[in-house]
């Protein structure tokens, strides 16, 4: 065999071995990477969990995470994402909390507590209702609200009255606790620990789900204010005026529109009061407003408040898309 033939065969053999090694190894560009999360920033938003139930998000910073590994957040599917809170101040009125407990938490026919009413007295929280598991006996508790080390809300009970008779002293004397008398094992987001009521905000509210650690609880008039996480430094927060919900980075979808590297801001058309927003009715709010684009193709959606949409006249035709500089409505 001549030298040229040997050289050709050697090159072919080396090439085959090299190709074989490359076929077994994945090229670096084929490795799957986790897409970036959608950053969310909210200010002065009255967020509707249901048509009748709303919480006041004074401010919030966090991320929107898809619940499925290969999925993305979809506004039209409240089960498709979780709102992971880094910092927030969220207020819920005692009326809204009462509605939440009656129509969502203790809504089952066999729930141990019924007809719940929550009120505030100075810095205390008063809970009234009926012990359904004990023949609908009326009860009343009063205590202070604090954050637990686990990030939940504890209503530390100082007073317990059943059928208008103070029983906490008697229960202490007998070594009994409310948790021994009332079974909350099947109740979502609420449990009894001794005589104290423990609320888990992550499980308490209807979806979309939230994840976050309560670090402080404050009483402000007829509202209970929950503080999540630690307040960020001023230079770490994007400063924007008005009432809004801003989404940046990552992918999200609403309607037939899928956005990559999102830059979407939902803006209150009437900043004189909180931005009343309902995820279940965002399309109606969208139709009642208008949309503009920024020079960098960001989306600015000016929306009418949910509580004003039903009685509002048709919006004027102002041009839904524009590449001009966005100027908020006067």
In the predicted model, what is the mean pLDDT of the chain?
79
* Cβ atoms 142, 158 nearer than 8 A: yes
Q: Residue 261, Cβ neighbours under 10 Å: how many?
A: 13
Paired tokens of 32: 């799957």
Is residue 249 scored above 90 in pLDDT? yes
Backbone angles phi, psi at 266, to 5 degrees: -90, 120
Q: What is the pLDDT of residue 135?
A: 77
Per-residue pLDDT tens digits for 65-81: 998 877 889 989 999 99
- What are the tens digits of pLDDT across the range 140-170? 889 999 999 999 999 988 887 776 555 444 3
Cα atoms found within 13 Å of the Cα of residue 220, Cβ hemisphere only: 15
Q: Which of 46-55, 171-180, 211-220 has the lowest mean pLDDT?
A: 171-180
- Give the single-character DSSP code of 39: E
Give me the pLDDT at residue 65, please. Answer: 93
Tell me if 236 sits within 8 A of 53, measured CB to CB: no
- pLDDT-derived band at 180, boundaries 50, 70, 90: very low
- DSSP letter string, 260-317: ES-EEEEEES-TTS-EEEEGGGHHHHHHTSEEEE-TT--EEEEE--HHHHTTPPPPP-
Q: What is the token pair recorded at 286?
A: 């969208």
Question: Cβ-count burial of 235 within 10 angstroms (0-12 exposed, 13-18 middle, 19+ buried)?
Answer: exposed
Q: Convert the pLDDT of each residue in 264-304 to its tens digit.
A: 999 999 999 999 999 999 999 999 999 999 999 899 999 99
């Amino acid at each position: 065999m001549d030298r040229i033939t040997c050289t050709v065969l050697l090159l072919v053999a080396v090439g085959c071995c090299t190709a074989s090694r490359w076929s077994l190894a994945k090229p670096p560009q084929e490795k799957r990477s986790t897409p970036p999360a959608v950053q969310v920033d909210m200010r002065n938003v009255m967020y509707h969990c249901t048509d009748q139930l709303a919480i006041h998000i004074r401010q919030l910073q966090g991320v929107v995470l898809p619940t499925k590994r290969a999925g993305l957040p979809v506004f039209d599917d409240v089960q498709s994402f979780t709102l992971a809170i880094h910092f927030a101040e969220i207020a819920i009125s005692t009326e809204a909390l009462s509605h939440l407990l009656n129509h969502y938490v203790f809504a089952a026919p066999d729930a141990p507590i019924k007809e719940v009413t929550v009120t505030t007295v100075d810095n205390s929280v008063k809970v009234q209702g009926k012990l359904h598991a004990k023949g609908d006996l009326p009860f009343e508790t009063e205590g202070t609200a604090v954050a637990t080390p686990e990030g939940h809300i504890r209503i530390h009970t100082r007073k317990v009255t059943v059928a208008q008779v103070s029983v906490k002293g008697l229960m202490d004397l007998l070594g009994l606790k409310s948790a021994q008398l009332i079974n909350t094992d099947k109740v979502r987001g609420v449990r009894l620990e001794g005589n104290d009521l423990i609320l888990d905000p992550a499980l308490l509210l209807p979806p979309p789900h939230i994840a976050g650690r309560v670090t402080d609880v404050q009483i402000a008039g007829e509202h209970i204010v929950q503080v999540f996480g630690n307040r960020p430094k001023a230079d770490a927060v994007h400063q924007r005026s008005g009432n809004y919900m801003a989404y940046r980075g990552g992918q999200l979808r609403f309607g037939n529109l899928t956005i990559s590297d999102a830059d979407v801001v939902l803006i209150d058309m009437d900043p004189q009061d909180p931005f009343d927003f309902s995820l279940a009715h965002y399309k109606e709010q969208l139709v009642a407003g208008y949309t503009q684009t920024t020079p960098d193709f960001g989306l600015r959606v000016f929306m009418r408040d949910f509580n004003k949409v039903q009685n509002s006249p048709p919006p004027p035709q102002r041009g839904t898309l524009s590449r001009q500089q966005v100027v908020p409505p006067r």
